[in-house]
Amino acid sequence: MSADLRLIGAEELRARLPMIDAIDALETAFRTLDPGTGPLRTSLETPAGSLLVMPAFGEEGVGVKLV
């Protein structure tokens, strides 16, 4: 079974998740995160610069930060 990936643009994201709510959610997640259980961060050098990949998971779900 496959599902289509839904893309959410910046405008819709801002409407659904105001910045203050995003900050509060991140603060809560970081308080409950056990640093020893997360995957290692990855840094890749590309011709355009560095790509940083920071995955995390916990009881509340999974996520990844890309910089």
pLDDT tens digits for range 10-21? 999 999 999 999
d(CA 2, CA 13): 24
Cα dihedral sign for 17, 19, 23, 24? Answer: negative
Q: Residue 50 corresponds to which amino acid? A: S
Copy the structure tokens of residue 9: 């643009």
Neighbours of 58 (CB within 10 A): 13
Q: At residue 2, does pLDDT exceed 70?
A: no
pLDDT of residue 38: 66
Whole-model pTM: value is 0.49
